[in-house]
């Protein structure tokens, strides 16, 4: 028998910025009674901030907590202490995964601007976790049922996107996504549709040449490496084919979008508040909600924890699959 056989999975869930909706959606998820039964969950964050949220909203959460220190915060009013505690929560949860104390991590939303105000170069969870884990090839991917939308570029100005799209980048993203679909989602032979950058896929160069000069050559190289890729396809018609419901049928196993909003807008519309952000390519399993801190509704009791519920459920599924494959190789 292998050392992991029969062991329950353990998932670390970060609290997010304590001035946002993170503590609420985490505690409501932990107290929902709908968590996977074969998984133990631990919340990583400020015990102080979590207790304030629990008491003020009368949430009877049984969650165990790994405390990262005090973080006094008023709903809707981010603070330096809260931003630091939010970032410490992510770091500690990642270290738990890297050290074997957790099988996956789920992140609640943090404020990029509040963390950057600490004097840190922080552009998002994805890039921060890649730095912590030493990952060089990773893909931000949004999941809603069988719909999976990955991003070639993430947090950058639209004006910088064309220059950032290189043949090497796209081939790397496609290979990482293909591996993630196989290893984390159990798709044996993935088909990946690739969105064009320009309207009508450039219309034979009339609206841009990125399709012919960069994207198409990258797809040809990926195909030579054995990947099943389609495109570049006009983004509007590509996403229209993915149906009206995130749980419905889709003709592709994943879509690679060229930039952030090209992928996230349809992904979130298809998800209907139940989407999950997955960082494919990390050496650890990480999922997240598909929404922000919600400072405007924090403390009101109106935060929807549907995305967090989906994120912990998917993290458990991926962790279970990874462990099963690891046990099979042992």
CATH number of the domain residue 60 falls in: 3.40.718.10
Question: Can you give the pLDDT at residue 328?
Answer: 61
Output the pLDDT for position 181.
Answer: 97
Is residue 201 within 8 Å of residue 211, measured between CB atoms? yes
Last residue within a domain, chosen from 274, 298, 320: 274
State residue 18's pLDDT score: 97
The reply to whether 158 and 117 lie within a common domain is no
Distance CA 243, CA 265 (A): 14
Task: Please check whether residues 119 and 87 belong to one and the same domain.
Answer: yes
- Give how many domains the chain has, as a whole number: 2
CB within 8 Å of 72: residues ≥ 6 apart: 48, 49, 79, 81, 82
Q: What's the residue count for the chain?
A: 330
Looking at 274, 293, 321, the residue that finishes a domain is 274
Q: Are residues 230 and 321 in the same domain?
A: no
Question: Same domain for 193 and 249?
Answer: yes
The CA-based angle 126-131-137, given to 5 degrees, is: 70
Q: Report the alpha-carbon distance of residue 145 to residue 152 in Å, rounded.
A: 21
**Same-domain pairing of 121 and 161:** no
Q: Which residue bears the tokens 């841009």?
A: 208
Q: What is the pLDDT of residue 329?
A: 62
Residue 11 belongs to what domain range?
1-135+282-330
Taking the alpha carbons at both ends of the chain, their separation in whole angstroms is: 9
Q: Do 258 and 158 share a structural domain?
A: yes
Q: Are residues 247 and 288 in the same domain?
A: no
pLDDT score at 163 = 97
Same domain as 107, residue 52:
yes
Are 262 and 300 within one domain? Answer: no
Same domain, 181 and 143: yes
Judged by DSSP in three states, 140 sits in strand
Tens of each residue's pLDDT in the chain, 330 residues? 344 455 789 999 999 999 999 999 999 999 999 999 889 999 999 999 999 999 999 999 888 999 999 998 899 999 999 999 999 999 999 999 999 999 999 999 999 999 999 999 898 999 999 999 999 999 999 998 888 999 999 989 999 999 999 999 999 999 999 999 999 999 999 999 999 999 998 788 888 899 999 999 999 999 999 999 999 999 998 988 875 444 456 789 999 999 999 999 999 888 887 899 999 999 999 999 999 999 999 999 999 999 999 999 999 999 999 987 766 665
Do 153 and 229 fall into the same domain?
yes
Q: Residue 125: which region, alpha, beta or left (left: phi > 0; alpha: psi -120 to 50)?
A: alpha
Contact 177, 192 (CB under 8 A): yes
In this structure, the answer to whether residues 28 and 105 fall within a common structural domain is yes
């Amino acid at each position: 028998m292998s050392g992991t056989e029969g062991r329950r999975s353990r998932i670390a869930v970060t609290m997010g910025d304590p001035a946002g909706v993170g503590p609420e959606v985490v505690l409501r998820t932990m107290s929902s009674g709908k968590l996977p039964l074969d998984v133990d969950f631990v919340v990583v964050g400020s015990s102080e901030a979590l207790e304030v949220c629990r008491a003020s909203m009368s949430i009877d959460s049984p969650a165990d907590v790994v405390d990262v220190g005090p973080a006094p915060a008023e709903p809707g009013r981010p603070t330096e202490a809260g931003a630091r505690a939010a970032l410490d929560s992510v770091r500690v949860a990642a270290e738990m995964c890297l050290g074997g104390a957790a099988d996956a991590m789920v992140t609640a939303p943090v404020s990029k601007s509040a963390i950057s105000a600490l004097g840190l170069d922080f552009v998002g969870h994805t890039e921060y976790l890649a730095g912590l884990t030493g990952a060089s090839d990773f893909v931000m991917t949004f999941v809603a049922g069988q719909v999976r939308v990955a991003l070639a570029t993430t947090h950058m100005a639209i004006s910088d996107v064309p220059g950032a799209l290189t043949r090497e980048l796209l081939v790397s993203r496609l290979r990482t996504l293909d591996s993630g679909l196989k290893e984390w989602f159990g798709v044996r032979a993935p088909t990946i549709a690739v969105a064009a950058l320009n309207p009508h896929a450039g219309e034979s160069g009339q609206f841009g040449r990125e399709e012919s000069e960069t994207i198409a050559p990258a797809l040809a190289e990926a195909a030579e490496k054995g990947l099943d890729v389609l495109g570049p396809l006009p983004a509007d018609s590509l996403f229209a084919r993915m149906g009206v419901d995130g749980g419905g049928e889709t003709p592709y196993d994943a879509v690679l979008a060229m930039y952030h909003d090209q992928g996230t807008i349809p992904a979130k519309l298809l998800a209907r508040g139940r989407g999950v952000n997955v960082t494919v390519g990390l050496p650890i399993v990480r999922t997240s909600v598909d929404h922000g801190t919600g400072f405007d509704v924090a403390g009101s009791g109106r935060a929807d924890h549907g995305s967090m519920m989906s994120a912990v459920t998917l993290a458990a599924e991926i962790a279970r699959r990874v462990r099963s494959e690891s046990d099979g190789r042992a």
